[in-house]
Amino acid sequence: MKVTLFIVKTLQKHRPMPSLNALSRSCSTLMVAALAAVFTQLSLAQASNPDLKDPPPIDLSRYDRPSGLDLTGRDLSVAASQDLFKSMNGQWINTTDIPSDKSSYGSFMELRDLSDQQLKTLITELQDKTRQHSPAELKVARFYESFVDTKTIDRQGLAPLRSQLKAIEHIQSVNDLVRFLGANQYRLNSPIDMGVSPDQKQPTINRTIIAQGGLGMPDRDYYLKPEDARLSNAKAQYLVYLSTLAQLHMAPHHAGPPSPEALDKATRVLALESKIAQVHWSRIQNRDTLKSYNPMSVEELQKAAQACNWTLYLKSAQLGNVRQVIVAQPDAIEKISALLASEPLQDWKDYLTLQVLNLTAPVLPQAFRDARFAFYGQVLSGAKKPLPRWQQGIQELNHTLGEEMGRLYVARYFSAKDKDHVKTLVANLMQAYKVSIDSLTWMSPATRQKAQEKLAAYSIKIAYPDRFRDYSALKINASQALANRERSMAFEWARAVAKVDGPVDKSEWHMNAQTVNAYYNPTQNEIVFPAAILQPPFYNARADDAVNYGGIGAVIGHEISHGFDDQGSQYDGEGKLNNWWTPEDRAAFERVTQALVKQYDAYEPIAGTHVKGLLTLGENIADLSGLQIAFKAYQAQLGGKPSPVIDGLTGEQRFFLGFAQVWRSKTREAALLKQVTTDPHAPAEFRANGAAVNHDAFHEAFKTQASDGMYKAVEDRIRLW
C-alpha cells in the first residue's frame, strides 16, 4: 500500500475493509490513524466470560512442505489457465465459512488473528502480579483490563461523557462552535479535519494539513446515490442508528423504538451530513496529488473560507503559532466553512452530540455498543456478531500503545534470521527493478536516469523500528475507561502538534511491528515491511524460493512500484512533489495506465457494481509491476538453471500459485460493496488474476490457449516497469 500524508488523530472510526493496503490512501488524501485507548479494571474472571476465553489456536502447519503451498486449498477441477485465483483457492473457498465476527476472511485476516492471539498471550503474562514488569508493560495490562471490564463501563453509563456533552450544550454562537471544533479536533471526526504531515514539496518539514471530513458513513456516495438500492438501504439504516443514539442520550434505559423527538434530531443530523457530503471531493478527485497540494498562509485561508474564524480554530487546536497550512480540498473547505454559519446552530449541536456518542460507543454501556455494531458491523460489513471483547481490546492496544506492543511482539515471536533473509530478498528485487528500468523501451534515456536515481535513493525498513516510542507521559487509570481514551488521544495530538513546522523524523514508523501489512511512503521515499507479514503464506523460511518470490517478493515489488505508480511517480528521490518526466514519457506512461483502468473497470464483483479502475489505478499498477519484477528477481536467483519440480509443479507454476495463495479470501457482500465504493484496492480475486493475466511468464507456465479464461493476446498484455 501507499502511505503519504499522516494525520495523527485519535478517532474510533469504523475501519476500512482489510487488504494488503488496508491503511492506504492516495497521495492527495489524509491518513487517519484510528487511535483509541480505553481501559478500566477487569472484575470478571476469564473462565466465567466466554468473550475473554482463549480462542482456538491458528495452525500454519499446512504450509510446512517444501513448496510452501497449501495444496489442500486447491481446486484441481479448475485449471490455472482458466482462473488462477480459483484454481489455487477454490477448495478453500468451497469449504470455509467466514467467521461470524468477520466481514471477510483469508490469508491476511488469519495472520491478523494469529497476531492478536500472540499478543493476548503476552498480555496474560503481564497480568501476572508475581512477575516484575516495566511501567510501560503495566500500562498495557491496565489498558487491556479496563477495556474488557464491561461491567464497570455499563455501571458508569454516560457519566464519563458529561463534561463533553455539557460543552456542546453551552455552544451559543458560530465562534463557540468553531472553538469547540478546534479544541476537540483530536477526538472528533470533524467536518474540517486537521493533522500533521510532511510538506509534499518540502518533505523534511512537517506542516498542518486541513481537509474535508465529518461523515459518519464511509463515503459521500452513501449519501448521494439514491439510485443505488444498496447504498440507499445503508443510508436508511444509518438514520435508524442515529435515532437510536439520540434516544439513548435522552433516555438511556428506553426499551422501545425511538421517540418522534429522537427521530427528528436524527433526521436533521443526517440532512446536515448530506450537505457536507455534497461538497466533498470524490475519492477519485482526491487521488490528484497536485490539485490536493494547496499551501496557504492563515490570512489567505481566512480570505478563501471567510465564514470560519481560522485564528480561533487553530488557537483552540493548540496551533495558534501556525502561519502556513496545506489545504487538501480548498473549495470543499470553503463550503463546509460556510455551512458552519448557514446551518441552524441546534443542528450542529445535535450533530456533535450524536457524533460524540458514536465515536465513544465502544466504551459506553451495552445498548450503545450494540447499536454501533448493528450499523457498522452488520449493515456496512455484514458481520453476524461483534469481535470478541478480548480481540477488540487488542486492537485498541495496537492503536494506542502500539509500539510497546510491537516491542513485546518481536522479542517473543520474530527471528533475526528472517530479517536478514528478507533483506536479501529486498536487495534482489531492487536489483531486478534497476535492470528492468534500463530495458524500458517506452521511456527516454533522460527520464530513465531520473528513475534510477529515485530507485537508488529508496530507504528500506524491515520488521521493527530501531527504537520504540516512549509512552511515559501517557497516564492510564485502572478505573477510568473513557478518561483513558481521552488521555491517549490528547497524548497523540500533543505529539503531533509538537512536530508542526519542525523537522520530519525519518526513523519514525507508521505501522506497528505486529501489523500484517506493508507500505510505501513517497515523501520519505521508503518501503516498510512490519514483522508480522514476514510469515506464511507471504514468507516461509522453510520453503522453496519460488513461493517466497511469488508471495513476499510480489509484496516487496508492489511497495517499490508505488514509487512509480501514477501518483508516486510525481515524487522524486528526495520525496519532493517534483516532475522529473519529459512530457512525451508521461504521455506514454498514461497510455499504458489507461489500458489498466479499462481492464479493471470491466470487473463486476457484485451484479451491477463494477470495480472503479481509476480509483484503484495506483494499487493495480503496483500489483502488476510488483509481480513482474518479483518474477524477474526469481529468474535472476535461479542463475540460468532450470527451476526444480516440487509437488509436481515447476518453479514458474509455484511462483504464480504462491502469488494467488496470498490473495486467498472470502468477503460478505456488504463489505464488498463498501470496498468497491471506497477502497483504492480491487477485490482479492481481481488482484490475483488481474496482475497475472498480463504476465508473459504466466501464460508460458500454464500453456494458456485462446479459449482459456485467463488468456490474453500477447499484444494486449500490459507492461510497465
Handedness of CA 51, 53, 54, 58 (dihedral sign): negative
Q: Mean pLDDT, the chain, as a whole number?
A: 92
Has residue 256 got a pLDDT over 90?
no
CB 122 within 8 A of CB 410: no
Nearest alpha carbon to residue 532 among 199, 108, 84: 108
| DSSP string covering 208-272 | EEEEE---SSSSTHHHH-TT-HHHHHHHHHHHHHHHHHHHHHH-TT--SSPPHHHHHHHHHHHHH
**Residue 519: band (very low, low, confident or very high) from pLDDT cuts 50, 70, 90:** very high
- Is residue 31 pLDDT above 90, yes or no? no
- In this prediction, residue 8 has a pLDDT band, given cuts at 50, 70 and 90, of very low
pLDDT confidence of residue 34: 28
State residue 253's pLDDT score. Answer: 78
Provide the angle, in degrees to the nearest 10, between the axes of the packed helices 481-497 and 135-148.
130
711: its cell numbers = 488468456
Work out the pLDDT band at 52, boundaries 50, 70, 90.
confident
Fold category of 415-463+517-716 in CATH: Collagenase (Catalytic Domain) (3.40.390)
* 652-672 tens-digit pLDDT: 999 999 999 999 999 999 999
Q: Band the pLDDT of 102: cuts 50, 70, 90.
A: very high
pTM for this predicted structure = 0.92
Q: What is the pLDDT of residue 252?
A: 79
Residue 9: the pLDDT is 36
Is residue 214 within 8 A of residue 270, CB to CB? The reply is no
Q: What is the mean pLDDT of residues 552-581?
A: 97
Q: Could you tell me the pLDDT band of residue 478, with boundaries at 50, 70 and 90? A: confident
Condensed to tens digits (0 to 9), the pLDDT of residues 429-439 reads: 999 999 999 99
Sign of the C-alpha dihedral computed for residues 152, 154, 158 and 159 taken in this order: negative
In the predicted model, is pLDDT for residue 333 greater than 50?
yes
Is the pLDDT confidence value at 35 over 50? no
pLDDT at 11: 29
Question: What does the pLDDT read at residue 12?
Answer: 33
Q: In this structure, what is the dihedral angle of CA atoms 121, 126, 128, 129, given to the nearest 10 degrees? A: 180
Strand ranges, E, within 5-128: 5-7, 30-32, 104-106
pLDDT, tens only, 666-711: 999 999 999 999 999 999 999 999 999 999 999 999 999 999 999 9
Q: How far, in Å, CA of 433 to CA of 659, rounded?
A: 18
pLDDT of residue 414: 96
Round to whole Å and give the CA distance between 638 and 545: 9
Q: What is the DSSP annotation of 77-109?
A: TS-TTT-HHHHHHHHHHHH-PPPTT-SEEEHHH
Check whether 43 has a pLDDT greater than 80.
Answer: no
Dihedral, 439, 441, 442, 443 alpha carbons, nearest 10? 50
pLDDT of amino acid 55: 79
What's the pLDDT at 241?
98
Tell which wins on pLDDT, 26 or 177: 177
Pairing of strands 324-327, 202-212: parallel
Region 267-280: mean pLDDT is 98
* pLDDT band (50, 70, 90) for residue 13: very low
Angle between helices 229-250 and 345-360 (to 10 degrees): 90
The stretch 201-229 carries a mean pLDDT of 97
In tens, the pLDDT along 605-651 reads: 999 999 999 999 999 999 999 999 999 999 999 999 999 999 999 99
| % residues pLDDT > 70 (the chain) | 93
Mean pLDDT, residues 421-445 taken together: 96
Average the pLDDT over 450-471 and give the result. Answer: 97
Between 193-202, 253-262, 286-295, 423-432, the lowest mean confidence (pLDDT) is in: 253-262
pLDDT band at 404 (very low <50, low <70, confident <90, very high): very high
Give the number of other Cβ atoms within 10 Å of residue 656's Cβ. 28
Given this model, what pLDDT does residue 50 score? 64
Q: How confident is the model at residue 255 (pLDDT cuts 50, 70, 90)?
A: confident
Please tell me the distance from the alpha carbon of residue 636 to that of residue 406, in angstroms, as a whole number: 34
Domain boundaries in the chain?
Answer: 415-463+517-716
Q: What is the DSSP letter of 115?
A: H
Model pLDDT for residues 141-173, shown as the tens digit of each residue: 999 999 999 999 999 999 999 999 999 999 999
